[in-house]
Structure 1
Amino acid sequence: MNNLANNPAPDVTEDGFLGGQLKLRQPRTGHRAGHDAILLAAATPARSGDRVVDLGSGVGAAGLAVARRVAGIDLALVEIDPTLAALARGNAAANAIAADVIVLDVEATASVFAAAGLAPDSADVVLMNPPFNDPARHRASPDSVRERAHVATATTLESWVHVARRMLKSNGRLAMIWRADGIAEVLAALDRGFGSVEILPVHADVRGPAIRILVRATKGGRAPTQLHAALLLNDESGVPNKWVQEILAGNGGLPLSRP
């Protein structure tokens, strides 16, 4: 593995993920990769040889984590911000992971996607961590990049799911993460063209409601919706869940990740 720069720029940090198996440079402030990206990667059902597209990839954390777990995927990282895309390109190279990094608005037209090499019915797997904070309850950030990365509009989820549906082959798989109180929005968006939906609630601890949902869906799937047992990040004493820590360290995947 190539080493990243020994002295990152003052506005960039170098951080280890997957127990040090993946090292990423990312902005010191603004949108930063964390547990959400790694849990999403661990819930992504990919096989060697699959064309895998990470929508809104940021610096590449989720997509590159999938590639570290599943060798031989054909990975594309799609990011609207050129600065983050440049970091993603550097991160892929530094970790010796082959990836196409494409600067593109996720809500661009099908013709724009096709011109960028992302034609309809061409992907086996799409993963995404769309902006999901409710603007009515989210304090606006002075950082425009961070705001765009975190705050959803009224059409964000529907638009991103539409793009995933367009790109996926028949029986292609979608993996996504969203805030738990938006589960009705997720199910409504997936009702058009997706089935075989599986939902994994994520709780900070046993006492509180779910804070995230990890979702797997199949284009054209017909199996009934499944709700998996909750994933607890911490046990009753507030101690980090050992299984979750193993997942975050890159040792295995979540139930949704089976091919």
Structure 2
Amino acid sequence: MSPDDGAAGAAGGDGSGTTTEDRLLGGRVLLRQPRRGLRAGLDAVLLAAGVPARPGERVLEAGCGSGAAMLCLSARVPGLALVGVERDPALADLAAANAATNGLPPDRVALHKADVRDLALARALPPCDHAFANPPYWPGGSAPPDPARRGATHEAGADLADWARFLAAALRPRGSLSLILPAARLEAGMAALAAAGCGGVRLVCLWPKAGEPARRVFLQSRRGGRGPARIGPGLVLHEADGPFTAAAEAVLRDAAPLPDRA
């Protein structure tokens, strides 16, 4: 899925040509992000739609980029305390600016310029109720030439296990940990969650069209959770002739949660 696959609409730029202003969730979120390289869209909205947050809770996004997923979650669930971790200082600054642009008070947003291998930071954060990420997922293969895109898709230093450990370390007991990954990395993602002490995995398949194999999967577990993994209802994104399905529109435009968001 392209990061710009219909979930975002262009709304101008900053005048310098280096960033664009895009709308997510049917215009509920205004996101300024780099014109080239790492751009958020469909995956960020789907990830946010699966996090079972409630008003007043604290949520953590690791690798938050310019803040798309955590801002979409905040638009859907008011009153959250947002914590973002991003190793790219320029993206972290964009995330902070985007939070302010979307009307979030400074005392409800904390941005950390750090790497997910810094477990000391994760343990020092106030305990979070939910943690989530769209982490780099490919351990090898042909990487995009653009450094930002390469860093978003290909593991470099930190692997899936590192991401899961960081997220789990910041969670309260029984807090939820959510990942969105290519379907080809399902086994690796489940192994990373288990190694981080998170169980009771729920799998949501994201199908491009009815009858086609899933390209993306949403995984959710609980810190200290037990019990077998289960496959929840999935989501078909596109009709046979291309437009989004009504169920996908409800998630991408109308801020509905993913099916069986438990």
Match of 2:153 in 1: 150
Match of 1:204 in 2: 208
TM-score, normalised to structure 2, is 0.88
Farther off after superposition, 223-232 or 18-27 = 223-232
Give 1:128's aligned amino acid. A
Q: Deviations over 1:153-178 (max 9, x none)?
A: 48510001011111111101111101
CA contact (8 A) 2:51 2:261 kept: yes
Match of 1:100 in 2: 110
Assess, with a 3 A threshold, how the Cα gap between structure 1 residues 237 and 127 changes in structure 2: closer, same or farther: same
Q: Is residue 2:131 matched to residue 1:126?
A: yes
Farther off after superposition, 223-232 or 73-82 = 223-232
Assess, with a 3 A threshold, how the Cα gap between structure 1 residues 15 and 197 changes in structure 2: closer, same or farther: same
Q: Is residue 2:246 matched to residue 1:238?
A: no
Unpaired segments of 5 or more residues in structure 2?
A: 1-10
CA contact (8 A) 1:48 1:72 kept: yes
Between 1 and 2, higher relative CO (CA 8 Å, sep ≥ 6) is seen in 1
Describe the SS at the equivalent of 1:67: helix
| Aligned equivalents of 1:168, 1:254: Cα separation in 2 | 22
Calculate the aligned-residue CA RMSD, in Å. 2.0
Q: Is residue 2:23 matched to residue 1:13?
A: no
Assess, with a 3 A threshold, how the Cα gap between structure 1 residues 139 and 163 changes in structure 2: closer, same or farther: closer
Match of 1:166 in 2: 169
Give 1:169's aligned amino acid. R
Give 1:251's aligned amino acid. A
Unpaired segments of 5 or more residues in structure 1?
A: none
Match of 1:84 in 2: 91
Cα offset, 1:230, TM superposition: 2.8
CA contact (8 A) 2:235 2:247 kept: no
Q: Deviations over 1:177-219 (max 9, x none)?
A: 0110111111111223111210001111124211010111111
Farther off after superposition, 184-193 or 71-80 = 184-193
Give 2:240's aligned amino acid. E
| Aligned equivalents of 2:31, 2:42: Cα separation in 1 | 14
CA contact (8 A) 1:64 1:97 kept: no
Q: Aligned pair count?
A: 248
Q: Is residue 2:194 matched to residue 1:191?
A: yes
Match of 1:61 in 2: 68
Match of 2:5 in 1: none
Describe the SS at the equivalent of 2:83: strand
Assess, with a 3 A threshold, how the Cα gap between structure 1 residues 209 and 27 changes in structure 2: closer, same or farther: same
Assess, with a 3 A threshold, how the Cα gap between structure 1 residues 140 and 18 changes in structure 2: closer, same or farther: closer
Cα offset, 1:6, TM superposition: 7.3
Cα offset, 1:16, TM superposition: 0.5
| Aligned equivalents of 2:156, 2:207: Cα separation in 1 | 25
Describe the SS at the equivalent of 1:222: coil
Give 2:119's aligned amino acid. T
TM-score, normalised to structure 1, is 0.89
Identical aligned pairs, as a percentage? 35
| Aligned equivalents of 1:256, 1:154: Cα separation in 2 | 34
